[in-house]
Structure 1
Amino acid sequence: MKILVVLKVKNHHKKWLQKSAADAELRFLPTDQVTESDLADVDAIIGNVPTELLPAAKKLRWLQLNTAGADIYCKDGLLKDDVLLTNATGAYGLALSEHLLAQLLAMMKKLYPYYDNQKAGLWRDEGAVASIEDATVLILGIGDIGRAFARRVKALGAYVIGVRRRAGAKPVGIDELGTMAELPALLARADVVVSVLPGTSETTGLFCKERFAAMKKGAYFLNIGRGSAVVTDDLIEAVQAGRLAGAALDVTDPEPLPADHPLWRTPNVYITPHISGDDHLSATQDKIVQIAARNLSAFLHGVSLENLVDRNTGYKH
């Protein structure tokens, strides 16, 4: 059994994977060094290999992603039907929820304009600020990341509404649960709207002119899911018109965002270059490897894997 590992790993991560590998042959190789020949005889891959190389993996039976988002690996014909696809759901809640909280507080407390003033040597009061306490926070996508953010803003006094595709049991830490069918009415109530949605056909272009018009005037919008969920020109228009008090984006459409794109220079839009997750926080990297190690053991023992992805929806089963 040959397993190719393209994750960024430290020595203790290698030991975790080797402990789970039993008699399998593990090969560690940086993603940017992987070639088609490296994939020709592998039974499993741990880590996100470039999709254009995957057709060379003729023997592949399992692909473990190091991301929670799996959309680009769900495209028709990319993987054979019998290939197991698993993601890293559960690894990113801490890092992404803290990133969202930092962005939201920076907007609410006007830290961005005060930093601009600092660089200009300008001592100036920027006026009224907002608070998370008593704010209604609407979170679209209440998986691990959405629930982690909900816990943090609820601890600061927010009323939290979660949105999922279908009705179901209300998760702990969510005050109210709604569905996508109820979205227009929910948007009108929210002081803060957060998208943690994956990239799917259902989410593409969801936040368009109509959705931004439905939002409460002066609301804050944050997107940490996929840039494809937002019609960028409509977002720019909503911010410029004062419909939104601010927008914080860790993902954009297009991505990477071209240097001459007007979104960069739209006042009250704050952009980070899709860096909230990745392996910037050591705890995230540890959790990714722990998920991969558990699944490696399960794969080699022929038992069910965690975080199996439904390739029709792009979501975890």
Structure 2
Amino acid sequence: MEAVEQGAEVRYTRADGLADALRGADALFVYDFLSTAVPGAWHAADRLRWLHIASAGVDPVLFDGLVRSEVALTNSRGVFDDSIAEYVLGVVLSFAKDFARSLDLQRESRWQHRETERIAGKRVLVVGTGPIGRSTARLLRAAGLDVSGAGRRARADDPDFGTVHDSAELTEYLPAFDYVVAVAPLTARTKDMFGARAFAAMKPTARFVNVGRGELVVTGDLVSALRSGDIAGAALDVFDTEPLPVDHPLWTMENVLLSPHMSGDVVGWRDTLVEVFAENFQRWREGEPLRNLVDKGLGYVPSAG
């Protein structure tokens, strides 16, 4: 933040001091991207012109007051693309090669031969065609998987996905895929898009991966689908309630891989988030167009997907 401090008065605050810090402020950097403090302090934003959040998702700050205002909203799009793509490839390999079971058997000192699966030629649907989805598609395709996308607009000539399906017709084409990867932003259109109907449409051998937002999924329906065998497994990095409650059934399900909202968080990520803001701050000071400008009506930075 040193470069920012040289060009502005910077006030650092926790959530309980946000209202006081907002008075007279021109810009707000929401470094704690999980914080829900901004709506409650919004009454004090008497001269705010720009809000930047240290995440790709903007749902924690996309409340009515901000949407209706003329305050510009930017995000940290681009920071997590490759690391999340690597996470997705990792869980696909973990399912195919049964790594979790191998680790369990190792701890029990048990030698139990098994057969595993190939990933080459398996079909993957990436739901969400923004930068994270595109990076994921490129990496999975390089590993030999057959990748398609789902987005706002159907097309057959996308450079990263090849075929992109209309996400509004999700259940019509879900039966064709071995892996379904959710990377979509959380909007009114995508909330609860993976519920009982979607899971029932998937192959009983399919695996579901969520690295987008927890609220994309009706969690109870996912648990039921896993228990009933409607789908074969799930890898989940995000949840509708975080931290996941200690008594939640997902913790003990053998066909589930869990991680605590860390799929994009590689060594140095916190510094990179600040660098993104600092670079945008210089653009803002100099009157240049801001990068990663969010369309507040859509809830994300517009792209071709």
The Cα of 1:203 is off from its aligned counterpart by: 1.1
Structure 1 residue corresponding to 2:245, chosen from 258, 264, 271:
258
1:36 aligns with 2:19: yes
What is the 5 A alignment of 1:98-137?
98-125=86-113, 127-137=114-124
Count of matched residue pairs: 297
Higher mean displacement: 198-207 or 176-185? 176-185
Q: Deviations over 1:69-93 (max 9, x none)?
A: 0012111124661111101111110
Distance 1:46 1:153 in 2: 34
1:289 aligns with 2:274: yes
Higher mean displacement: 260-269 or 212-221? 260-269
Structure 2 residue corresponding to 1:177, chosen from 161, 164, 173:
164
1:66 aligns with 2:66: no
Structure 1 residue corresponding to 2:126, chosen from 122, 139, 144:
139
Residue 3 (structure 1) aligns with: none
Q: Is the 8 A contact 1:88 1:307 kept in 2?
A: yes
What is the 5 A alignment of 1:1-317?
14-15=1-2, 17-18=3-4, 24-27=7-10, 29=12, 31=14, 34-48=17-31, 50-51=37-38, 52-78=40-66, 81-125=69-113, 127-167=114-154, 170-278=157-265, 280-282=266-268, 284-317=269-302
- Give the aligned residue type for 1:37: D
Higher mean displacement: 96-105 or 153-162? 96-105
- Give the aligned residue type for 2:49: R
**Compared CA separation, residues 150 and 26, structure 1 to 2 (3 A):** farther
Higher mean displacement: 112-121 or 163-172? 163-172
Distance 2:56 2:14 in 1: 17
**Compared CA separation, residues 79 and 163, structure 1 to 2 (3 A):** closer
Higher mean displacement: 259-268 or 76-85? 76-85
Distance 2:226 2:285 in 1: 51
**Secondary structure of 1:25's match?**
coil
Q: Deviations over 1:209-250 (max 9, x none)?
A: 111111122011100001111111111111122222210000
- Give the aligned residue type for 1:90: G
Distance 1:294 1:134 in 2: 41
Q: Is the 8 A contact 2:177 2:203 kept in 1?
A: yes
The Cα of 1:188 is off from its aligned counterpart by: 0.9
**Compared CA separation, residues 97 and 30, structure 1 to 2 (3 A):** farther
- Give the aligned residue type for 2:207: Y
Distance 1:305 1:230 in 2: 32
The Cα of 1:185 is off from its aligned counterpart by: 2.9
Q: Is the 8 A contact 1:240 1:267 kept in 2?
A: no
Q: TM-score, normalised by structure 1?
A: 0.86
**Compared CA separation, residues 40 and 169, structure 1 to 2 (3 A):** farther
Q: Is the 8 A contact 1:90 1:287 kept in 2?
A: no
- Give the aligned residue type for 1:303: E
Distance 1:202 1:302 in 2: 34
Q: Is the 8 A contact 1:209 1:235 kept in 2?
A: yes
What is the root-mean-square deviation of aligned Cα atoms in Å?
Answer: 2.2
The Cα of 1:108 is off from its aligned counterpart by: 1.3
Q: Is the 8 A contact 2:194 2:216 kept in 1?
A: yes
The Cα of 1:35 is off from its aligned counterpart by: 3.7
Identity percentage of aligned residues: 37
The Cα of 1:100 is off from its aligned counterpart by: 1.4
